[in-house]
Amino acid sequence: MTKEEILNKVQEIVSEQLDVDAAEIVLTADIKEDLEADSLDVFEIMNELEDELDIQLEADESIKTIQDVVDHVAKQLEAND
């Protein structure tokens, strides 16, 4: 899965979870500041990504932007290969 494909999946899930337009979900968007998510929202997004992609994501407090999410998912997908 390419990072572009991961980004598309992240955009789909974040858009649904936070009820925001996918166009607002760019790599540089800060999840809490720009997208107005709280900790529970972030937890739910990560859980949904785990379910959709059949992976386990470790909790990572350093995840702040959409780019961080994409990189975190990509790293886990690589580890599973």
Catalytic residues: 38
Rounded to whole angstroms, how far apart are CA atoms 43 and 80?
Answer: 21
Cα-flanking dihedrals φ and ψ of residue 57, to 5°?
-110, 125
> Distance of CA 73 to CAs 6, 31, 43, 59, 67, Å?
7, 15, 14, 12, 10
Among positive and negative, which fits the CA dihedral 41, 47, 52, 57?
A: positive
